[in-house]
Amino acid sequence: MRLFSCVIAACAVLSLSGCVTQPKPDYSSFFDHQPRSILVVPPANKTTAVDAPAVFLTTVSAAFAERGYYVFPVFLVQDILNDLGATDEGAIAAIPPEKFKEVFGTDSILYVTITDWATSYIVVASNIIVGAEYRLVDADTGAVLWTGKQKVVHDSGGGGGGGGLIGALVAAAVNAAITATTVQYRPIAIQANDMAASQSGYGIPAGPYHPEFQKDRGQFK
Amino acid sequence: MRPRLFRFTILAVCALSVSACLPAKQFYWGSYEESLFSRQQHAGAGGEAEAATMLLATINEAQANNGKVGPGIHADYGYLLLKQGRTDEAITQLQKEAALYPESKPLMETMISRIHGRKEKEQEKKSTP
């Protein structure tokens, strides 16, 4: 029983600490240019994982649209950008925001930089780490509407092998062999995006497709 | 009594913090993001055909459940149909996207007018031997 309350307490501390690590963003610019639509451009990549941007791009749409926004279909956007010659992150970053307005009719552009996409191995388990930085920019003026940062460390576990330390080591080796696959990064990336978009006081204020639209300003100051 | 109250409070805080992180769903997503991943993993016509099947199923499921299909899904399905040469069906999907989500209207109209332009050119080619 004592162990149980200890676990619960640890969980509470963790969940609280997850909410107070960053300074609160300033939302005045956001509300001055309240967007209805978000165009997610292919992410920039600070990691050595070559496939991270392409996989990450498949995990952003629902997280941000669920905040009540129209999110343009990401692959269609990517293909149109390719047609325009913007095939890499440098070329995409060089496009002036108003050009996105002209081509797509979007109100805002979401730039994502992937900062973490790795598996770290510790003695009896391995962790999958996905981290990203977000910048939402007004398509009319180029003003920054919102910035966010998120890092999710997923403990992929190491127990369950049984048989004490040797069992744990075997389990760790098996886990390490499995965690290298793309499939296991996706749910962590989805979680990171969900948290970045929807965390109270830090995420994106509710948009026109959300019942809290214009009612949640108290959370975002 | 005291420790029990403490434990209860902690539990309540835990439950609240977890529920605060679970967003209510505004849209029906079905397998939209999985269809993107499938295209990412299998580039080319095969992956696109598979993704199109997933999107059609998603659209049908949303209809059956009286859900509003998420933004981008009709447009993406239309785009895949276009790549398969099914232009009329593609146009229908792009029009549905524009009707459901007015934010997409400028882009959908641009795409539709390009498709019409291309069709006209093809017809001209056929009529002038």
Domains recognised in chain A with CATH numbers: 24-213 (3.40.50.10610)
Q: A20 falls in which pLDDT band (50, 70, 90)?
A: very low
Mark yes or no for CB contact A105/B104 under 8 Å: yes
Mark yes or no for CB contact B71/A8 under 8 Å: no
Compute the distance between CA of residue B50 and CA of residue A213 in angstroms, rounded to an integer.
36
Please report the pLDDT score of residue A3 as a whole number: 52
Least confident residue range of A173-177, A196-200, B56-60? A173-177
Mark yes or no for CB contact B21/A195 under 8 Å: yes
The residue whose two tokens read 């180029």 is A142
The pLDDT mean for chain B works out to 86
Compute the distance between CA of residue A47 and CA of residue A73 in angstroms, rounded to an integer.
25
Compute the distance between CA of residue A198 and CA of residue A210 in angstroms, rounded to an integer.
12
**Burial of B85 from C-beta contacts in 10 A (0-12 / 13-18 / 19+):** exposed
All residues of chain A having their beta carbon less than 8 Å from the beta carbon of residue B62 are none
Q: Which two structure tokens, joined as six digits, stand for A22?
A: 């960053």
List pLDDT tens digits, range B71-90.
Answer: 999 999 999 999 999 999 99
Compute the distance between CA of residue A204 and CA of residue A37 in angstroms, rounded to an integer.
12
Please report the pLDDT score of residue A155 as a whole number: 81
Least confident residue range of A77-86, A165-174, A202-211? A165-174
The residue whose two tokens read 């963003």 is A25
The pLDDT mean for chain A works out to 85
Terminal Cα-to-Cα distance of chain B (whole angstroms): 94
Residue B21 has pLDDT above 70, yes or no: no
List pLDDT tens digits, range A97-142.
Answer: 999 999 999 999 999 999 999 988 766 667 889 999 999 999 999 9
Whether residue A172 contacts residue A125, with contact meaning beta carbons closer than 8 Å, is answered with yes
Mark yes or no for CB contact B33/A62 under 8 Å: yes
Residue A194 contacts B where some CB pair is shorter than 8 Å: yes
Q: Which of B11, B18, B33 sits opposite A61 (nearest CB)?
A: B33
Whether residue B84 contacts residue B52, with contact meaning beta carbons closer than 8 Å, is answered with yes
Give residues 80 to 119 of A whose Cβ lies within 8 Å of B: 103-107
Whether residue A103 contacts residue A80, with contact meaning beta carbons closer than 8 Å, is answered with yes
Please report the pLDDT score of residue B16 as a whole number: 47
Amino acid at A198: S
Mark yes or no for CB contact B75/A198 under 8 Å: no
Tell which wins on pLDDT, A22 or B95: B95
Tell me the backbone φ, ψ of residue A47, rounded to 5 degrees. -100, 175
Residue A189 contacts B where some CB pair is shorter than 8 Å: no
Of these ranges, A125-129, A169-173, B49-53, the one predicted with the greatest mean pLDDT is B49-53
Q: A17 falls in which pLDDT band (50, 70, 90)?
A: very low
Residue A21 has pLDDT above 60, yes or no: no
All residues of chain A having their beta carbon less than 8 Å from the beta carbon of residue B11 are 8
Whether residue A132 contacts residue A112, with contact meaning beta carbons closer than 8 Å, is answered with yes
Please report the pLDDT score of residue A114 as a whole number: 98
Please report the pLDDT score of residue A8 as a whole number: 52
DSSP string, B35-80: HHHHHHHS-SHHHHHHHHHHHHHHHHHHHHTTPPBPTTHHHHHHHH
